[in-house]
Amino acid sequence: MTSLKHLVIEILQARDLHVVERDGYLFARKGDREVPFLLLTSLDWAKVDDFLARFSGLAGKKVIATLVKLPPASLAALDRSVTVWDQDALEHELGRTRIEGVMGKRENGLVDELMADDFPRMVSPALLEDIRAPAVGERIVRPVVGLDDVKELSRQTVAGFAHRLELVPHFVYGYVCPLYMDGEKVGVEKGALSINSLTHRVESWNDRTEVIYALEMAHRTLEPSIGMDDAKRLARKELVKVNSYEKELIREENNVTIIEKRRVAPREEEIVLEDRGVFYIPIWCVEGVHGIMMVNAGTGKVLSEDYYRI
């Protein structure tokens, strides 16, 4: 049986593209243009999110090739720079390239779209029909704590009797934060962070966080209390705060050890933020006989416990 990888490589090489494999991805090259491919052999959204996060800053097109049927809501949520080669598209393209090999006549296809500057996105008729379906929309951190779990947890603490699940929106940004000492660049910090749009708290963000696109449990989706501009301002201020410190420089001079303290800090205006969108973190809010508690359903961490004073 021919693998998905071999199918994609055959299609690309039929258009005289150079194909290389690196870090688990395929790359199609032509001239100075390179297009990354994710070969999705199972419905693994962690791999999709890793792929999108890794190449989010790449100018140009990105491709997800798969023989697995993807949910319509997930397809509709993809950025326009992402093209999906589904089973229908792959079968059509493979057949077309093989016929071209016999007939010697070429027509525009999937590969030509990738290498064009402004070619419209091409998908199969079946995929277009799916995309017209209503979208679910949100990216929700996958819960690991269900209703039964939180009932048992709260029974042992606040004696919970009311449990509700709320989706709290977080703005997520990748960042590049140059560090300076005495006017010279001495390093750079890179990573990702999230801003709670209700509490305005800034925390680090794990790029491998698993997300889903629909939630079967009863829940309420909360609205942000701040906009993107405020979120970016909070992110920059937090990055300046956590990356500013005093560094000791030790040197010898005339048999005397001299210790000098120099300040290392970012320049707020040079911090680069990459918008990765809004993610919803599920939070269990519990009312109990003895107090209230909040639990992060995505991690199982107890965020707060407030006991009533009797």
Among the listed residues 58, 1, 50, 49, the one whose alpha carbon sits nearest the alpha carbon of residue 27: 58
Which pairs count as long-range contacts for 291-298, CB under 8 Å and 24+ apart, including other chains? 291/157, 291/158, 292/158, 293/154, 293/157, 293/158, 293/160, 295/145, 295/150, 295/153, 296/145, 297/141, 297/143, 297/144, 297/145, 297/146, 297/150, 297/165, 298/141, 298/142, 298/143, 298/144, 298/209
The full set of domain ranges for the chain reads: 4-137, 140-307
Domain at 4-137: CATH architecture: 3-Layer(aba) Sandwich (3.40)
Q: What is the pLDDT along the chain (310 residues), one digit of tens a residue?
A: 468 888 888 888 888 888 998 888 999 888 888 899 999 988 888 888 899 889 888 878 899 998 888 777 777 777 778 888 888 788 777 776 665 554 444 555 677 667 654 333 444 444 434 433 333 458 999 999 999 999 999 998 888 888 999 999 999 999 999 999 998 999 999 999 999 999 999 999 998 899 998 888 889 999 999 999 999 999 999 999 999 999 888 878 777 787 888 899 999 999 999 999 999 999 999 988 888 899 999 999 999 888 865 4
